């Protein structure tokens, strides 16, 4: 199973503020939906709760919520108590590619584990104020970048952005 993460990040590493997104990028939302549809998505409890109730669990996907709270309930989603348990659950479902969809804590933990194979990164123009960050400097080595999409700011997207896929560079002996 390929382990992928998917994130939209500003030039200063900001990904969120007050447990919410900070931009409206409809075409990036569409990219997110098309890319993750049919797969398992792993989310931290805070990110899950930041999704408007009418949109969660995210449809056409197995939603796996990570929390330390053993009494936590998320109807229609799978609840687990560690990132490893989340990855095991996705493996057991037979998914060929699982998507870790945030937020900040879960991305950090996944990157620290060294288990991520692919990163889908939406590079958003600008440096907004925020309280949740994604580490961009980790992309500087060990990853091969393929640009998938470029979008100027317009009536559907309040900021310009580009979407890149980063695949872990194969190590040769
Ligand atoms: N721009 C983007 O692409 C993007 C994507 C996703 C999210 N976001 C933003 O990110 C922010 C949320 O991120 P966040 O860092 O605050 O929270 P988060 O990563 O979504 O969730 C953190 C929670 O996950 C649980 N957790 C974390 N590590 C765990 C572990 N090892 N074992 C068990 N449970 C664990 C804990 O839940 P309990 O407290 O219940 O134990 C913890 O409080 C929001 O602003 C959201 O909008 C942005």
pLDDT at 10 over 80: yes
Residue 170 is predicted with a pLDDT of 72
Q: Is residue 100 part of a domain?
A: yes
Distance, CA of 112 to CA of 114 (rounded, Å): 5
Burial 50-66 (b: 16+ CB within 10 A, else e): beeeeebbbeebbbbbb
pLDDT at 172 over 70: no
Measured from the Cα of 16, ligand 1's closest atom is: 45
Q: What is the mean pLDDT of residues 77-87?
A: 98
| pLDDT tens column, 133-163 | 999 999 999 999 999 999 999 999 999 999 9
Q: How far is the CA of 82 from the centre of ligand 1 (A)?
A: 12
Q: How far is the CA of 108 from the centre of ligand 1 (A)?
A: 10
- Tell me the CATH number at 159: 3.40.430.10
When the pLDDT of each residue in the chain is averaged and rounded to a whole number, the result is: 96
Q: Is residue 13 part of a domain?
A: yes
DSSP 136-153: -GGGSSSEEEEEEEEE--
Q: How far is the CA of 21 from the centre of ligand 1 (A)?
A: 13
Distance, CA of 110 to CA of 102 (rounded, Å): 10
> What is the CB < 6 Å shell around ligand 1?
7-8, 15-16, 19-21, 44-47, 50, 66-69, 81-83, 101-106, 109, 132
- Cα 58 to its chain centre, rounded Å, is 13
What's the full length of the chain, in residues? 173
Q: How far is the CA of 146 from the centre of ligand 1 (A)?
A: 27
Distance, CA of 130 to CA of 10 (rounded, Å): 10
Q: Is residue 101 part of a domain?
A: yes
- Provide the residue range defining the domain that includes 132: 2-168
Number of domains the chain contains: 1
| pLDDT tens column, 20-56 | 999 999 999 999 999 999 999 999 999 999 999 999 9
Measured from the Cα of 122, ligand 1's closest atom is: 3
Task: Work out the widest C-alpha separation in the chain, in whole angstroms.
Answer: 50
Measured from the Cα of 66, ligand 1's closest atom is: 34
Measured from the Cα of 21, ligand 1's closest atom is: 47
Q: What is the mean pLDDT of residues 49-77?
A: 97
Q: What is the mean pLDDT of residues 77-88?
A: 98
Q: How far is the CA of 50 from the centre of ligand 1 (A)?
A: 10
pLDDT at 173 over 60: no
Distance, CA of 39 to CA of 3 (rounded, Å): 11
**Percent of the chain with pLDDT strictly greater than 90:** 97
Q: Is residue 173 part of a domain?
A: no
Q: Is residue 82 part of a domain?
A: yes
Q: How far is the CA of 96 from the centre of ligand 1 (A)?
A: 24
Q: Is residue 88 part of a domain?
A: yes
Residue tagged 């440096």 (tokens): 127
Q: Is residue 52 part of a domain?
A: yes
């Amino acid at each position: 199973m390929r382990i992928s993460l998917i994130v939209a990040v500003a030039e200063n590493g900001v990904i969120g503020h007050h447990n919410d997104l900070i931009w409206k990028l409809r075409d990036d939302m569409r990219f997110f939906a098309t890319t993750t549809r049919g797969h398992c998505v792993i989310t931290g409890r805070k990110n899950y709760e930041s999704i408007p109730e009418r949109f969660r669990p995210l449809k056409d996907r197995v939603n796996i919520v990570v929390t330390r709270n053993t009494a936590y309930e998320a109807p229609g989603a799978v609840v687990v108590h560690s990132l490893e348990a989340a990855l095991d659950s996705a493996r057991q479902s037979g998914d060929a590619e699982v998507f870790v969809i945030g937020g900040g804590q879960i991305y950090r933990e996944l990157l620290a584990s060294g288990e991520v194979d692919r990163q889908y990164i939406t590079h958003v123009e600008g440096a907004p104020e925020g309280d949740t960050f994604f580490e961009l400097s980790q992309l500087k080595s060990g990853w091969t970048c393929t640009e998938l999409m470029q979008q100027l700011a317009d009536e559907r997207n309040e900021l310009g952005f580009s979407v890149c896929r980063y695949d872990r560079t194969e190590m040769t002996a």
